[in-house]
Structure 1
């Protein structure tokens, strides 16, 4: 006989016995017609919820192993020797779990097979249909459990990595001013598991000035996140070391150029220096959108003085403007992941013109935390789904605001 399915092995449709209503396709790799027929008969005896497909060689089995729930493997095949058949099947990515069939004189091979990665082994002539069905079920369920455990562990590792990145990208600000409140939110683009290259920081200096930074490394992923962490730490160090505002961008660009993986990588920056009396600020924009004032009125700050992003020119350029704030105010900083959300699929970027009306519907009724969460949700709704780029928001509130 030849072919991928022998007439001696009858395809079996699920009987009355099933697991959660599911019938499985099982691949029998057996070159001996008599042994193959006996396996089929044993499963018939217990009306096993299985559909049995038979092949005669490992080469044929490799083609099928991704399409079946379990493999019943005879080790004595014409194109294998010892455990080579098992190892070849286990090497197939996303292949099915394997239960080894061995003769009585080769029972020791079964134990070796389990040690090598088989889910179980059975000795021909010493099992009945229930034993065979039980072994198949066990192999399938254990494989699922192992896969779920691996997925859980990978999820835990991603969560740990995300937490480390959050500590680097979104640190605890070094600000001791009870009159100045702040809230931050971060949502990765496409709701990916890991953070991207958006970062922020806040640092007070001895003269009472509060320095604020919001930045965005182009792209998203672990490399961009690592670069964002490097830039944030460098900026904090420069502030604490007393490096003048005008010189910081030049040093940040040096860090960017030395740490980036590709020459086309750049970073945008919004840097604020809030005066000791908190009534005004100095602002530098390097390729970054300006913040928006939420109180005493809702309006974007002037964005007419914007220098190139870091990494675009050979030398960084710095220019600043002064903004009067008043006694009480609220200020929202955002990376362009929010402002580049679209007004419907394929529509134009919203910008502050499209985002601020959404802010007006939420502020101040939703409060600081509700504003940040709901604002991202509303922009995603208008975008027709998750935003393409990462979103970082930083809300600063001074004094009594509604």
Structure 2
């Protein structure tokens, strides 16, 4: 009966003995789908052939340039994607067992292998390798989820408010990749009654940007609680960003609002960031015009101006990151944009965060939103 390999594969045989190599090659010719066999006579020769195309490796542990398990360790390191079987002599069965413990999928004893056993061993080794890789991906996914949860709790804190006159709502969505980036927000009320809100966005995606966002968010809260809410705060954040970022091209945009204790005026600083959306006495608008200044981390001598915004008796302010206005909408896959966002708010008659997310379209970037609204008496 012919041996059976379920699919054609590329196999690397690392064997210095021509006779043993010939025997393996002849046995594999009996398979229904004989594999493509590459041969290496030493570990050094094998290194050049251990590419991503190699799906299985048969390695002799008695190579001229490697001492027993050294060869296996090199193969496992160079081809972590491939199934690895060890060839060993009858008197070195314990070495084969040690090889499996070290990471090989199986071991074969020279002189005690026929075509069927060899084909089956290769097939089973590949299945075990697939299972090992699937388990590894699962563990990595679980670790990533736990890390994201820790970062999210630091990026997205609870508001420090001690007034019932303000309604405070937040939303956060990761990008299409599902991982956190550098979007962050925070809200703090200081002892004088002023309410301070920030939404920021570290450029780029990944855990480094998320960690930098955490550092900036915590620094912002600390500085606000220490009474630093103006240019000193921004210069300090700029210094921190330059010290902590991994590359000089990393910058951060943010929008800050300080609402006066009587809740009548918002002092805004739009630092290279999308403009906030305001609803004042029923009128919807975006705070368009000249921003306060450039993003953090670009110019060492940057200055940022204050935009004083009268709020009236009934008002809502929404700060958000650019993931919202860069959402894809419509059949033409156009970006929502600031004007489209304002139109959606007008259509809804108020700022409803959940409805905005639903109607905004496909969100590909991270999205952070903070809504601060004066409660009706």
Same fold? TM cut 0.5? yes
CA distance in 2: counterparts of 1:346 and 1:374, whole angstroms: 15
Is the 2:174–2:181 contact (alpha carbons within 8 Å) kept by the matching residues of 1? no
Kindly state the Cα deviation for residue 334 of structure 1 after the two structures are TM-superposed.
1.9
Kindly state the Cα deviation for residue 355 of structure 1 after the two structures are TM-superposed.
3.4
| TM-score, normalising length: structure 2 | 0.80
Q: 2:367 aligns with which of 391, 396, 400?
A: 391
CA distance in 2: counterparts of 1:253 and 1:54, whole angstroms: 56
| Residue in structure 2 matched with residue 212 of structure 1 by the alignment | 197
User: Mapping of 1:167-316 within 5 angstroms?
Assistant: 167-178=153-164, 179-188=166-175, 191-245=176-230, 247-294=232-279, 296-304=282-290, 306-311=292-297, 312-314=299-301, 316=303
Structure 2, unmatched stretches of 5+, are none
Deviations 1:2-38 (Å, cap 9, x if unpaired)? xxxxxxxxxx9x95x84xxx55444444455654565
Kindly state the Cα deviation for residue 337 of structure 1 after the two structures are TM-superposed.
4.1
User: Mapping of 1:368-379 within 5 angstroms?
Assistant: 368-375=353-360, 378=361
Structure 1 residue matching 2:78: 3-state secondary structure:
coil
Is the 1:289–1:335 contact (alpha carbons within 8 Å) kept by the matching residues of 2? yes
User: Mapping of 1:44-63 within 5 angstroms?
Assistant: 51=35, 53=37, 55=39, 57-58=41-42, 61-62=46-47, 63=49
Structure 2 residue matching 1:218: 3-state secondary structure:
strand
Structure 2 residue matching 1:308: 3-state secondary structure:
coil
| Residue in structure 2 matched with residue 6 of structure 1 by the alignment | none
Kindly state the Cα deviation for residue 292 of structure 1 after the two structures are TM-superposed.
0.9
Kindly state the Cα deviation for residue 210 of structure 1 after the two structures are TM-superposed.
1.7
| Residue in structure 1 matched with residue 321 of structure 2 by the alignment | 335
CA distance in 2: counterparts of 1:107 and 1:326, whole angstroms: 85
| Residue in structure 1 matched with residue 306 of structure 2 by the alignment | 319
Kindly state the Cα deviation for residue 86 of structure 1 after the two structures are TM-superposed.
2.9
| TM-score, normalising length: structure 1 | 0.76
CA distance in 2: counterparts of 1:177 and 1:130, whole angstroms: 78
Aligned length: 370
Q: 1:91 aligns with which of 65, 74, 77?
A: 77
Structure 2 residue matching 1:207: 3-state secondary structure:
coil
CA distance in 2: counterparts of 1:69 and 1:120, whole angstroms: 15
Structure 2 residue matching 1:66: 3-state secondary structure:
coil
Moved more, 48-57 or 144-153: 48-57
Kindly state the Cα deviation for residue 203 of structure 1 after the two structures are TM-superposed.
0.9
Distance 1:316 1:197, change over 3 A: farther
Kindly state the Cα deviation for residue 202 of structure 1 after the two structures are TM-superposed.
0.4
Is the 2:329–2:335 contact (alpha carbons within 8 Å) kept by the matching residues of 1? yes
Structure 1 residue matching 2:204: 3-state secondary structure:
coil
CA distance in 1: counterparts of 2:294 and 2:309, whole angstroms: 19
User: Mapping of 1:9-28 within 5 angstroms?
Assistant: 18=6, 22-28=7-13
CA distance in 2: counterparts of 1:185 and 1:299, whole angstroms: 23
